[in-house]
């Protein structure tokens, strides 16, 4: 009888463990799945005239600059736009809480989910904002990466873009 129970336990363990041994592993390393800001260095890049970002049926601004976590200072002219891109994973509750000065207008704010196998949950992505310079002077765009319902401690990831609008 003991041999029968031992055999059944081993059979159940094998059925439960073997599929995990052959499961497909996600591509890349753990840092690629991080919710940290985008790490690519892209500063003051002028986008070709034929490249535009559609924000609605009525507004199609040309993206004059691209900013990410490494871009902290930028000089723009009135009516120029900048595309700010930061990684986020709202499925965990963490999102960028963005604020801007009155001389910068948020024309568009969207989250794009990273490519993932069908049915995969908890997939992060990139939050992008298109900001338009509407008033000359020193302007700012700030974002704090946190859960909305948690108090701000000052230890959260943060991003600041200082813009001099001429």
pLDDT for 139? 97
Nearest residue to 100 via CA among 162, 36, 43: 162
Residue 1 lies in a domain: no
pLDDT for 153? 94
Instruction: Write down the pTM of the prediction.
Output: 0.62
For residue 67, the domain's CATH number is 2.60.40.2020
Structural domain including 126 reads 36-165
Residue 25 lies in a domain: no
Q: Which distant-in-sequence residues (6+ apart) come within 8 Å of 135 by Cβ?
A: 78, 102, 103, 165
Question: Phi first, then psi: what are they for 126, rounded to 5°?
Answer: -130, 135
Residue 58 lies in a domain: yes
Q: Which distant-in-sequence residues (6+ apart) come within 8 Å of 146 by Cβ?
A: 94, 95, 97, 152, 156
pLDDT for 105? 95
Residue 50 lies in a domain: yes
Residue 145 lies in a domain: yes
Beta strands in 10-72 (DSSP E): 65-67
Total domains in the chain come to: 1
pLDDT for 2? 63
pLDDT for 106? 95
Residues of the chain with pLDDT below 50 are: 8, 12-60
Residue 79 lies in a domain: yes
pLDDT for 66? 75
pLDDT for 31? 36
């Amino acid at each position: 009888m003991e041999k029968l129970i031992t055999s059944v336990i081993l059979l159940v363990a094998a059925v439960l463990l073997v599929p995990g041994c052959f499961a497909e592993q996600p591509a890349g390393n753990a840092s690629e799945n991080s919710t940290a800001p985008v790490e690519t260095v892209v500063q003051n890049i002028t986008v070709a005239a034929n490249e535009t970002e559609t924000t609605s049926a009525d507004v199609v601004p040309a993206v004059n600059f691209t900013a990410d976590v490494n871009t902290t200072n930028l000089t723009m002219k009135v009516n120029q736009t900048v595309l700010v891109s930061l990684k986020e994973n709202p499925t965990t509750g963490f999102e960028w809480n963005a604020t801007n000065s009155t001389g910068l207008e948020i024309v568009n704010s969207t989250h794009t989910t990273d490519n993932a196998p069908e049915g995969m949950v908890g997939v992060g992505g990139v939050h992008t904002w298109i900001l338009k310079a509407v008033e000359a002077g020193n302007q700012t765009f700030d974002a704090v990466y946190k859960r909305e319902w948690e108090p701000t401690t000052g230890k959260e990831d943060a991003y600041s873009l200082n813009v001099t609008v001429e």
